[in-house]
Amino acid sequence: MSTVNFSVPEEVKQAFNETFQGQNKSAIIADLMLEAVERAQARQRSQTAYQRISARRKHAPSVSEDAFRAAREAGRE
């Protein structure tokens, strides 16, 4: 197990201690850190996917508005 030291505002520390009184605060902090890592990784995956889609769109064939409308109408029949 590693030890990590962070400086936080006193009011945040007090609120945390009051909210999680009697609980394993180290486990709570570890869970919160893991959630933050997972959220950041998901955000990065989304950004990477968006960039990949945007790059592909530059090379995709374009469809005229008339052709798109005709295809949509044909699909409704």
Q: At 47, which helix (H) or strand (E)?
A: helix 25-59
CA 24/CA 51 separation, integer angstroms: 41
Residue 17 has pLDDT above 90, yes or no: yes
User: Quick check: pTM over 0.75?
Assistant: no
CB atoms closer than 10 angstroms to residue 24: 10
pLDDT in tens, 26-75: 999 999 999 999 999 999 999 999 999 999 998 888 889 999 999 999 98
**The pLDDT of residue 54:** 94
Which amino acid, residue 14? Q
**The pLDDT of residue 25:** 95
